[in-house]
Amino acid sequence: MNQRYLLHPTSRIIAQYANEAITKGDNFLLPKPLSYLKAEIKSAALSIWQDNWDNGETGRSTHDIVPRVSNKPVGWNREEIMFVTGHGPFPSYLLRFNLRTHENCSCAEKGDPIHYATKCPFTLSWHLQTPTVSLKLQWLKNILTNNFPRIRLRLLMRFICDENNLIVEDNN
């Protein structure tokens, strides 16, 4: 501390009071602002949600693409959500609910989203390049972040939804 500062009589008194406040002072409650409490609650809720998302048993394919929870939407439309989650008019999905007796497409291969996007002869106009098994996740992320593949994906999903009777083998 500056020596000239301590030579002034009031400075010494101020320093003495400051020292007493540190060593002998009474504790007092300083309430936190509401914004702080809201931020703490939001942080705790996101932490619990993230833990549930990381350790859950469902939604694993979506978790691989969107590993962090957030209050902000991912920006996917209906068709993209159906493709990523596999929920929709896919035989592989409908079989889980006994709405089909098999999971095959009309071309006799497993009717899942990747099949329709890459192999199915009935959706040839909307095919995307077939990913290698090791790069499937990156392939899907690239589709969802690049505009041209996203448009093709939307058109594919609209076709599958509108013309499902043509590409899904009869349930008999």
For the segment 41-66, the average pLDDT, to the nearest whole number, is 92
Q: What is the pLDDT of residues 70-115, one digit of tens each?
A: 999 989 999 999 999 999 899 989 998 988 888 888 888 998 999 9
CA distance 112 to 105: 8
Query: How much is the pTM?
Result: 0.70
Q: Are 109 and 123 in contact (CB under 8 A)?
A: no
- In DSSP terms, 104 is beta-bridged to 110
The answer to whether residue 21 scores a pLDDT higher than 80 is no
The answer to whether residue 55 scores a pLDDT higher than 70 is yes
Q: What is the pLDDT of residues 157-172, one digit of tens each?
A: 999 999 887 777 665 4
Which pLDDT band, with edges at 50, 70 and 90, does 42 fall under?
very high
Q: Where are the alpha helices (DSSP H) in the chain?
A: 3-7, 9-24, 34-55, 60-65, 78-85, 91-94, 113-118, 136-145, 147-162, 164-167
